[in-house]
Structure 1
Amino acid sequence: MYNDSAKRAPLLAMASDAPPRKALSNAWAITAITIGSGLELYDSVVYNFFATLIGPLFFPVGNAFGQTLLSFATFGIGYVMRPLGGLVFGRYADRVGRKPAVILTLWLMGLSAMILVLAPSYAQIGLMAPVLVVLARLLQGFAIGGEMGPASAMLLEYADEHSRGFYTSWQPFSQGLAAVLAALVALTLSNLLNPSALSGWGWRIAFVIGIMVIPVSMIIRRRLEETLTPAHAKAATAGGARQLLKEHWAKLVASVLVMIGLASAVHIVVFYLPNYAVIQLHMPLSQTIWAGFVGSLILAALSPFSGWLSDRIGRRKVVFWSRVALVAMIYPAFVLLNAQPTLVRLLIVAACLAVPMAMTSAATLVLVSEVLPQRLRATGVAVSYYGAVVIFGSFSQFFSTILIHLTANANAPAFYVIGCGLVSLLGLAMVPETLGKRLS
Structure 2
Amino acid sequence: MSDTLTAASAGTRQNVWRAVVATSIGNALEWFDLVVFGFFAVVIAKLFFPTGNDTVSLLLTLCTFGVSFFMRPLGAIVIGAYADRAGRKAALTRSILLMMLGTAMIAVLPTYETIGIAAPVILVLARLMQGFSAGGEFGSATTFLAEHVPHRRGFFSSWQVASQGLTTVLAAVFGAVLTGRLSPEALAAWGWRVPFVFGLLLGPIAYYIRANVDETPEFLATETTATPLRDTFVGHKVRLSIAIGIVAVGTVATYLVMFMPTYGIKQLGLAPSISFSAIVLTGAIQMVGAPFIGHWSDKVGRTGIMLASGALMLVVIYPAFTWLVASPNAATLIVVQIVLGLAVTGYFAALPALLAEIFPVATRTTGMSLAYNIAVTIFGGFGPFIITWLIRVTGDKVAPSFYMMFAAVVSLIALTAARRVLGFK
TM-score (norm 2): 0.94
Structure 1 contact 24–225 (Cα < 8 Å) conserved: no
Alignment of 1:412 with 2:399, yes or no, is yes
Unaligned stretches of 5+ in structure 2?
A: 1-5
User: Going by fraction, where is helix more abundant, 1 or 2?
Assistant: 2
State how far apart, in whole Å, the 2-side matches of 1:280 and 1:188 are. Answer: 21
1:267 to 235, 255, 263: 255
State how far apart, in whole Å, the 2-side matches of 1:410 and 1:264 are. Answer: 17
State how far apart, in whole Å, the 2-side matches of 1:211 and 1:414 are. Answer: 34
1:15-414 matched pairs, under 5 angstroms: 24-161=14-151, 163-227=152-216, 229=219, 232=222, 234-237=223-226, 239-268=227-256, 270-414=257-401
Deviation at 1:45, TM superposition (A): 1.1
Structure 2 contact 41–61 (Cα < 8 Å) conserved: yes
SS in 1 for 2:269: coil
State how far apart, in whole Å, the 2-side matches of 1:50 and 1:393 are. Answer: 18
State how far apart, in whole Å, the 1-side matches of 2:92 and 2:7 are. Answer: 21
Structure 2 contact 180–272 (Cα < 8 Å) conserved: no
State how far apart, in whole Å, the 1-side matches of 2:7 and 2:53 are. Answer: 58
Unaligned stretches of 5+ in structure 1?
A: 11-22
Deviations 1:2-22 (A, max 9, x none): xx9945998xxxxxxxxxxxx
Structure 1 contact 260–420 (Cα < 8 Å) conserved: yes
State how far apart, in whole Å, the 1-side matches of 2:83 and 2:15 are. Answer: 22
Deviation at 1:231, TM superposition (A): 6.0
State how far apart, in whole Å, the 2-side matches of 1:8 and 1:214 are. Answer: 29
Deviation at 1:436, TM superposition (A): 9.2
SS in 1 for 2:397: coil
Structure 2 CA distance for partners of 1:159 and 1:415, relative to 1, 3 Å: same
Structure 2 CA distance for partners of 1:63 and 1:334, relative to 1, 3 Å: same
SS in 2 for 1:431: helix
Deviations 1:223-249 (A, max 9, x none): 3111164563x5321x32011001000
Structure 1 contact 5–26 (Cα < 8 Å) conserved: no
Deviations 1:190-244 (A, max 9, x none): 2232111101221111111111001111232233111164563x5321x320110
State how far apart, in whole Å, the 2-side matches of 1:286 and 1:330 are. Answer: 23
Structure 1 contact 260–389 (Cα < 8 Å) conserved: yes
Structure 1 contact 52–275 (Cα < 8 Å) conserved: yes
Deviations 1:5-58 (A, max 9, x none): 945998xxxxxxxxxxxx943223212221221122211111111111000111
Deviations 1:337-378 (A, max 9, x none): 111111121111111121011100021221111110001111
State how far apart, in whole Å, the 2-side matches of 1:184 and 1:254 are. Answer: 36
Structure 2 contact 252–380 (Cα < 8 Å) conserved: yes
Letter in 1 for 2:347: T
Structure 2 CA distance for partners of 1:371 and 1:312, relative to 1, 3 Å: same
Percent identity of paired positions between Structure 1 and Structure 2: 38
Moved over 6 A (4+): 433-437
State how far apart, in whole Å, the 1-side matches of 2:416 and 2:118 are. Answer: 47
State how far apart, in whole Å, the 2-side matches of 1:52 and 1:392 are. Answer: 22
State how far apart, in whole Å, the 1-side matches of 2:379 and 2:117 are. Answer: 28
Further displaced range: 385-394 or 219-228: 219-228
Q: What CA RMSD, in Å, does the superposition of the two structures yield over aligned residues?
A: 2.0
Which residue number corresponds to residue 3 of structure 2?
Answer: none
Deviation at 1:160, TM superposition (A): 3.0
